[in-house]
Structure 1
Amino acid sequence: MQVNFNGQLMAEEVPYLPHGNRGLYVGDAVFESLRVMGGKAVFWEDHYLRLMSSMRMLRMEIPMAFTMEFLAEEIKILLEANGLLAQTCRVRLTVFRKAGGRYMPNTNEIDYLLEASALENAFFTLEDSSYEVELFKDYYVNNDLLSTLKTNNKALHVVAGVFAQENGYANCLLINGNKHVVEAINANLFLVKGDTVVTPPLSDGALNGIIRQKLMEVIGKMEGKTLEERSISPFELQKSDELFLTNAIQGILPVTKYRKKQYQSSLASELIGKLNTMARLSVMEG
């Protein structure tokens, strides 16, 4: 497989990152995980705008050529080089400040890296296997704006992932310093109780997820459903009817079990078709 580093295609095994790469050195990087269908990224405009916003917040210099059209073409070139243009793929776009400096960078200019791999399913699907989660309480998510960005500073999420592996869980739910449930390791969280659907607010430290945004739009328009963006207490988890997680690659992940509580997946099943419709339209219009 080949990767795209600053517009140059090269084999994965070729060393292309300098030892002083700031993404490696101090986690000075942001990224987007994209689901790409037929060479076009799903919800590409939303991902692009989030990337630009994240770069501005981290005071990275955005090149004049770094347009939606330029990056979309770079993705297409990478997929074509790897024989993946006709397939549904996962693409990761990572942007990091150029090497140099320690905590204080020598420059705000950036490098970028594109990587791609094939996905098994063409569209978002719901897994019908067991998906058990547990609270991870060793470390907390900061409830600030930096936590809402997709940065390379993911030590908390990595340690939570190791905890999940060691204890046989599919995922972990993360909490902030106020003991509010914020998100999962790799996904946003939705809780369903009766006709009310709740998702944690960004002010609690939740990632500003693209699929989260899209489903909030859909749920907010559903007859008989009330959408609330508010803090979630761990005590609410076992009292809820349904929990599901969302991210850009897998779409919707229904939680089947948390401690002694077993969950249904009625709303998740209803939403997956709507999400696929939105995804197809975004690709057609892109």
Structure 2
Amino acid sequence: MINFNGQLLENNANFLNGANRGLRYGDALFETIRVVNNKIFFWEPHYLRLMASMRILRMDIPMNFTMEFLQQQIENTIENNELQDQAVRVRFTVFRENGGLYTPATNNVLYIIEAKKIENPFYVLNTQPYEVELFKDHYVNSGLLSTLKSNNKIVNVLAGIFAKENGYDNCLLVNEHKNVIEATNGNLFLVKGHTVKTPPITEGCLNGVLRKQLIDIIEKTEGLEITEAVISPFELQKADELFLTNVISGITSITKYRKKLYTNEVAKQLLGRLNAKARLI
């Protein structure tokens, strides 16, 4: 079942048309949310990011868009898909109503909630080889809009195609200054000695929910230091570890970039702390 603006519809229902502004202009935002046993992971940060992003895109926020209301809509969707006792990936998409060309006829919004079962109730570290390469065909601009989780993700799409065609598991994206900012589907962390580095939001990386959680965890972990700083491509092969984060998979360790092989000791340590924090929600 799909939740379309509060109405539950069958998955094959035709409820959108060619005038949809998310389709026509990418005039949409989305949140990808992890829910386990009907408990939403990091719901408040997701909600606050969505509200802030809607304001940046000048979307009118409905009066009923409270944390409690949207949580109830998510829970209703999960229940109607009979996934209350499962680990679930929820996608919450919000878009401006039909009308207008580039300039919208209205700033009113509609939303869609989708729910899909995922395998693991806890974050687990993938032990399989995971090789990445730089994607340099196109750049991500280091502006505020690049930090939003919007439907404008064509660079990520092309990078994903590049990775698939060339036998990589993922690609790392660069901005117009040729600094490394993130992967196609997650924020990037680099470990060198006892220092963990991640690009600042000003570089154009996604303002990731799990990125913030990891920064907080690292700040409280004895023996580790976190810094938000520019990462150049030359630093990648000098690092001890590279790992990616997103709210669905948690932490993904990169095992290889070009000729460099990486360990995953810090990622293992942080994964345990991340699971402990998620259980306390």
| TM-score computed with the length of structure 2 as normaliser | 0.99
User: 1:6-155, aligned counterparts within 5 Å?
Assistant: 6-155=5-154
Is the Cα contact below 8 Å between 1:124 and 1:250 reproduced in 2?
yes
**Matched letter for residue 11 of structure 2:** E
Kept in 2: contact 1:18–1:99 (CA 8 A): no
Residue 218 of structure 1 deviates from its aligned partner by: 1.0
Q: What is the alpha-carbon distance in structure 1 between the residues aligned to residue 127 and residue 172 of structure 2? A: 20
Count of aligned pairs between the two proteins: 281
Output the amino acid matched with 2:17.
P
1:277 alignment partner, SS class: helix
- What residue in structure 2 maps to residue 252 of structure 1? 251
What is the alpha-carbon distance in structure 1 between the residues aligned to residue 79 and residue 230 of structure 2? 44
Counterpart CA distance in 2 for 1:121 and 1:227 is: 28
| Structure 1 segments of 4+ aligned residues over 6 angstroms from their partners | none
Q: How does 1:151-230 map to 2 (within 5 A)?
A: 151-230=150-229
Give the conservation status (yes or no) of the 8 Å contact 1:29–1:151.
yes
Name the CA distance, whole Å, in 2 between partners of 1:4 and 1:226: 43
CA distance in 2, matches of 1:230, 1:7: 42
Cα deviation for residue 199 of structure 1 reads 0.1
Q: Distance in 1 between matches of 2:164 and 2:150?
A: 23
Q: After the TM superposition, which of the residue ranges 9-18 and 131-140 deviates more from structure 2?
A: 9-18
Identity of aligned residues (%): 58
Q: CA deviation at 1:91?
A: 0.1
The unaligned stretches of length 5 or more in structure 2 are none
CA distance in 1, matches of 2:63, 2:36: 27
For the residues of structure 1 that align with 2:70 and 2:219, how far apart are their CA atoms?
32
> RMSD between aligned alpha carbons?
0.6
Tell me the alpha carbon deviations over residues 134-158 of structure 1, each in whole angstroms, 9 at most, x when there is no partner.
Answer: 0000000110111110000000000
Which AA in structure 2 matches 1:187?
Answer: G
Unaligned runs of 5+ in 1: none
